[in-house]
Chain A
Amino acid sequence: MITLVILAIGISAATALALAMTRHHEQCYGRNAAARRQPVRRRLEGWGLILIAAGLAVFTDGWGRGLVLVAGVVGLAAPLAAGLFAWRPAWAGRVIAAGWLAVVAGLCGLVFGFA
């Protein structure tokens, strides 16, 4: 279960990192959406989500398996994010929001012992 949460966080992290790039931002919000463009924030958000996913994985699975899990999740999440921008670019913002929900769910799971 916690693996699915980590995978969801990984996908939204990859989406945030992609959204920091001009090409994918234009795919999502159109050509003239410069007002919404915050590359630095998106990049920080992406790396932050990856760190949170890594923290969750290492906390639940230990250093060895946890780091292997994060490497695997990011490697799978990035092509999925690329597919998202190829076929459903408009969903990017929603996917990132879902990632933060997954963070909340994961932390709740840890605190209340669902994981």
Chain B
Amino acid sequence: MSWLHTWAGLVVGWLLFAIFLTGTACYFRPEISAWMHRLAPIALPDQPSQARLAAAWLQAEAPDAVSWLIDFSDGREPVLKVAAGRPHGYVAQRLDPMTGAPEAGPETVGGDFLFYVHFTLIMSDWGRILGRYLVGICAMIMGVAIVTGVIVHKRIFKDAFTFRPRAAAQRAWLDGHNLLGVMSLPFHLMITWSGLITLMLLYMPWAVDAGYPGGRAGYAADLDGIAAAGAPAGPAQPAALTDLGQVVAAASAAWSADGRDIRVGRVEVDRPGTTAARLTLTPQDADQLARLPEALVFDGTTGRLIADGRGQGGAAAAVHHTLYGLHLARFAGLPLRWLFFAAGLAGTAMIATGLVLWSVKRRPKTGAAGRGRGHRLVDALNIGCLVGLPAAIAGQFLANRLLPADIAGRAVLEPAAFYLVWLAFLLAGAWRSDGSGWMRALLAAALLWAAVPVADVLVTGRDPLGALAAGDRVFWGLQLACLVMALALGRLAMILRARSRRGGAA
């Protein structure tokens, strides 16, 4: 068991670290997006008027589309996202919710990049399926590592609160690894399992395929508690679309009938501009833990309610929605989201301490020969990933602020900055993987994080005190988060320096 835990953890540890780190950052994906798109906080207009703006833009830009999607903001990122599916392609746009015009400002990937790295490891077409499979394999092995970790930790209750930072290196790292692993165990189990659930149709599609011989549409309809859309009778004639504002207001009122306050999250328009048009509305994820299966379907020409999914879904759908909701944590208000973030950081640190522990445990005794080739490889990868990945996120933020606003392909250059910084740290780790290599890498990462708030203020010309008066939570949240990262990494570098001066090793 101990062998299995050690090697399972080592084989996927670096990828798991990347998955956990980017996933933890994604709890604040809307805020990161708002920061990268340079959006100032606004009071959002009511949803019906936003829906009319979105419909007007789609009507002008994509009248021939087979389907439209309108995603409303949950209040964290002031943007209205619209998309249109055409037979020959797909167009997506971010609109200003006040005016309905496409968002001004420099092109950027926003928080979506970290989101896609989290479950595909790379943001490109060819990595789409392969990356998801890799992440799934990592998650399965993470499950193995969690279970074996509990089994090999014999003194799990006796050592419950034990942490000896001043003891010998191996003891200190092991204490830290155990503490982070055991105390957030419910979170680690939940996040690993629910993460697999989010992509279960890719990993294990056979049960759904057997249960729904008619295809995935029936499955999706059951999740929403509505009947699958049948084929329209006869050819569709052109017809004007009903007023979306009224439909959105009606749906919100229907969901909020029992005293809850539930907004509309998404409007799907099938075959807009024809007599066969159907509107499917689903509630906002942010307003409830499990998005209950309660979609509402309206006729697209008359605005009449034609299908009501409220209270229709079964227990299986409720379980799926609960696990999915727990993984994304969109239901969480600000304090609870910070707790999720802290738990995610604990998971990230647990993986990091485990990887460091592998190396510390096998450190050659004084006077013995130096490290073997495998040992040097692990150390190099530890520096390249455990320090390089946090630095790479800072590199991406810096690229967002420092690249000229009108440069071509800006949205490709930001991810490129991420990968380049990561590569630089991997090379630096390969070059020097001993204590001084660690120290320099940590110091470089700390400087990168410290540069982000400075570049932010210099480039956007935002006045920090003015932002405080205006209650700009996103600005201050990111400023402070970057400073905390810089201080933490810098502190680690100083601890290492003090230890190396004393002649000991970390």
Contact = CB atoms under 8 A, between A and B. Distances in A.
Interface of A: 3-4, 14, 17-18, 21, 23-24, 64-65, 68-69, 71-76, 78-79, 81-83, 85-87
B332 A85 contact: no
B183 A69 contact: no
A73 B184 CA distance: 10
Interface of B: 158, 160-166, 179-180, 183-187, 288-290, 326, 331-333, 335-336, 339-340, 342-343, 346
A97 B57 CA distance: 60
A65 B184 contact: no
B346 A75 contact: yes
Contacts of A23: 162
A61 to B, nearest CB: 8
B163 A82 contact: yes
B183 A79 contact: yes
Contacts of A21: 158, 160-161
A3 B331 contact: no
A55 to B, nearest CB: 17
B196 to A, nearest CB: 19
Given A78-B183, A79-B180, A82-B179, A68 B162 contact: no
Contacts of B343: 72, 75-76
Contacts of A14: 161
Nearest to A57: B336
A81 B290 CA distance: 32
B289 A64 contact: yes
B238 to A, nearest CB: 46
Contacts of A65: 289, 331-333, 336
A65 B333 CA distance: 9
Contact of B326 (A4, A68, A73, A74): A68
A5 to B, nearest CB: 11
Contacts of B289: 64-65, 68
Nearest to A3: B335
Given A17-B160, A85-B163, 18 more contacts: A14-B161, A17-B161, A21-B158, A21-B161, A65-B336, A68-B332, A69-B339, A72-B187, A72-B343, A75-B184, A75-B343, A75-B346, A76-B339, A76-B346, A82-B161, A85-B161, A86-B166, A87-B165
Contacts of A69: 335-336, 339
9 contacts: A3-B339, A21-B161, A64-B289, A64-B290, A68-B326, A69-B335, A72-B187, A79-B184, A86-B166
Contacts of B332: 65, 68
A79 B179 contact: yes
A24 B161 contact: yes
Closest 4 A/B residue pairs (Cβ): A3-B335, A72-B339, A78-B183, A18-B161
Contacts of A17: 160-161
A29 B166 CA distance: 19
Contacts of B183: 74-75, 78-79, 82
Contacts of A83: 163
Nearest to A19: B161
A68 B336 contact: yes
Nearest to A74: B183
Given A68-B289, A72-B343, A82 B162 contact: yes
A21 B335 CA distance: 31
B256 to A, nearest CB: 16
